[in-house]
Amino acid sequence: KNEVEQSPQNLTAQEGEFITINCSYSVGISALHWLQQHPGGGIVSLFMLSSGKKKHGRLIATINIQEKHSSLHITASHPRDSAVYICAVRGNTGTASKLTFGTGTRLQVTL
Amino acid sequence: ETGVTQSPTHLIKTRGQQVTLRCSSQSGHNTVSWYQQALGQGPQFIFQYYREEENGRGNFPPRFSGLQFPNYSSELNVNALELDDSALYLCASSLVSYSEQFFGPGTRLTVL
């Protein structure tokens, strides 16, 4: 079992829909990252959070430390949101610098 | 402010060869992390450099080695290339080892 699990693996939505991507992890963490990767390969950091909730534009990220779970929400989705969304965690023991990644959720938003 | 850059963009090598990939960190960042991303997978942590010293390593064999220079740019060297080394190699820089990471565009390595 991977230390970081994401669901769903693939998601298709129509423009305007509210989208939720889930991330569960099995280790103690000091921080959780949400990343966006476009087909060319480049990765953009969306959020880094260790508690509560963060919002940036149409994106909202929440984390529940007790339940070891985080969600990324996209409101009023748009075709330009189509990308792979990756959850990554930084452990709180051992190599503090190491990020462990999920396998990503591929989102396709259609008109 | 200049972002993270990587070179080359694409590279084709044959099995057994050696390769060097380069990364220039974002201005003011003294930490560089390297990741390997196989097709359809999430990135895997290779190692991190902080102020020219290795600061953590993932489960990669010794033929994966690195360097960080006084200007905080970095190199990833892979010796004795294997077919399974074909992947996208990403570097990310950060202000310190535990802060938000900013990723470069990646180098796609193909080993034939």
Q: How many CB pairs under 8 A join A and B?
A: 67
CA distance B109 to B11: 5
Q: pLDDT at position A1, please?
A: 65
Nearest-CB residue to A103 (from B42, B55, B100): B42
Strands A105-110 and B44-50, sheet pairing: unpaired
Q: Please state, as a whole number, how many other Cβ atoms lie within 10 Å of the Cβ of residue A30.
A: 12
pLDDT (tens digit, 0 to 9) for every residue of chain B, 112 residues total?
568 999 999 999 999 999 999 999 998 899 999 999 999 889 999 999 998 999 889 999 999 999 999 989 999 999 999 999 999 999 999 987 778 889 999 999 999 9
- Measure the CA angle with vertex A6, ends A62 and B56; round to 5°: 85
Q: What value does the mean pLDDT of chain A take? A: 92
Residue A92 C-alpha, separation from nearest chain B C-alpha, in angstroms: 10
- Measure the CA angle with vertex B67, ends A28 and B112; round to 5°: 90
Q: pLDDT at position B92, please?
A: 94
